[in-house]
Chain A
Amino acid sequence: MTLQLVFDALSLGGIYAIAALGIALIFGVMKLVNFAHGQFIAFAVFALIVPSTDAVAVMGLGAAPALVLVPALLAVGAGLAVASEYLVFRPLRNVSPVALMVASFALGVVIQNALLVIYGGRPKAISLWPELGKPVRLLGAEVPMLQIMVICAVLLVLALLAIMLKRSRVGLEMRAAAEDFGMARLLGVRANAVIAGAFALSGALAATVALVLVAQTGVADVRMGGQIMLIAFIATVVGGMGSLPGAVAAGFAIGAVSVALQAVLPIEARPFRDAFLYGLVILVLLLRPQGLFASASAKPRV
């Protein structure tokens, strides 16, 4: 029972963490809260099925073996994000942060409506990797195989991202740009390359979330990115805008708290679980308005 809760918390928190990272990465280099991130996720979900407004979904890319499917879907997510940057955000590079944010809202609406036109508005049942639904015995508990896979995938993604940021040239340039973009450019760091790189990573993270969501829920719904985007955004705020470790920690924390609330709240209070969750978030922000982990660039310079 308790072990099952731990797995629930880890897998839910892991998805929130990955979604929050997608937002924090772009905020870090561009100071843009990309509200289209949820629609990036939805786009990647629908990329799995053949375009049609029929009620029954036919798997397209989703029918491919995982070794093809996973990299291809990550590329789709990255491609969409890079295209968005090039077509929408690059021409707006010098406008105010608020205008940028509004542009990201607009982009989200455009993507969502494009999906509605192409695929229709009704949610569709799709089944991705049904064999992962089988439970396995682990440490005396019955845990769905899928949950273990999700946790492993989340940890793998986090590890790869950490190595990339810490060890690679582009990772170093991204961290420098996140702290002082102007200074990085004075040292020859190409602004366009760093921003495109951040968008590509963010899009690939959105595709990762899409895969997990589809495997868990078995549904493709145009609206499915919105809810997770909201929680991911809250996680980036709670974690401290722009702090990547903060986004990850807050994502896991929100996952853990919602699983815990679900378990301890009396039955009649459970429908209000999210109200309790957001109440806690407000409390955290009242106590630490800068977030749990304020980023280095948010600190005043001496």
Chain B
Amino acid sequence: MSKLGIFDLSVRYGKLTAVNNISFTVAEGERVFISGPNGAGKSSLLAAIAGEVRAAHGRIEMDGDILSGRVPEAIARRGLSMVPEGRRIFRALSVQENLMVGVGLRRDKTAVPDDLEAIYAAFPILGTRRHANAGALSGGQQQMLAIGRALMTNPKLMLVDEPSLGLAPRVVDEVYDRLCSLQAQRGLTLVIVEQSSARAGRVGGRMLLLRGGQIVADGDAASFAADDLLKEAYFGKAAP
């Protein structure tokens, strides 16, 4: 059984169709990049999976359970966690309070202190600044906080929307480095929206190419990186 199954999913905002009849599955432990131009529907796809926007049509399954139609807090309880576009840090809360917001859904409360230390070990800067206001962190630190905050819910499946947005390349390297090692440690399944196919190719994994709300390609990220398909996805069929 696949970890995540998307079947004929559509998302609409009024008349505008952001996701148009998409189907794909993600296996347990897999790392899937979703790439595509601005407005392709990447964030809408993630938002529908997490229950933040209602699907106009179709079915979403996790471990064979139907997610579509459930409220976000119920989906989070099933082990799905989201690192959203723009990070959406609670700026008025301290770093540690941000990390603790999502532990309310956990049944293994006794494991929380160890998990918190594990996050601080993976992102030492968060440990150093644990009592600082989250709004005072730099962009890269906020991205790490958003990832740590999602991990504190002890998810099995994590959706990450454009973790590299607005960060210096060196910081992006660091973020992906941590994401990959945390994935290996915890046996996580990762779905990552990443605009840069070169980046996705270097990190490695599967890649889905989205355009106009539809999947136009599905394959290995590394072999995609150089491919013409990408240019086509971004710019349409180029004139010869």
Contacts and interface: CB of A to CB of B under 8 A. Distances in A.
Nearest to A178: B92
B71 A176 contact: no
A187 B91 contact: no
- A interface residue count range (under 10 / 10 to 19 / 20 to 34 / 35 or more): 20 to 34
A274 interface: no
A31 interface: no
B177 interface: no
Contacts, number: 72
B48 to A, nearest CB: 13
A140 B83 CA distance: 61
A187 B84 contact: no
Given A173-B101, A301-B86, A187 B149 contact: yes
A183 B88 contact: yes
B104 A188 contact: yes
Contacts of A189: 73, 101-102, 104
B52 A179 contact: no
Contacts of A173: 101, 104
B104 A179 contact: no
A179 B73 contact: no
Nearest to A169: B104
B124 interface: no
A83 to B, nearest CB: 22
Interface in A167-221: 169, 172-173, 175-176, 179-180, 182-191
6 contacts: A182-B72, A183-B88, A185-B72, A187-B76, A296-B92, A296-B135
Interface of A: 169, 172-173, 175-176, 179-180, 182-191, 295-297, 299, 301-302
Given A185-B76, A186-B82, 4 more contacts: A175-B92, A182-B88, A188-B105, A299-B91
Question: 6 tightest A-B contacts by CB?
Answer: A188-B105, A296-B92, A187-B102, A188-B76, A185-B72, A183-B88
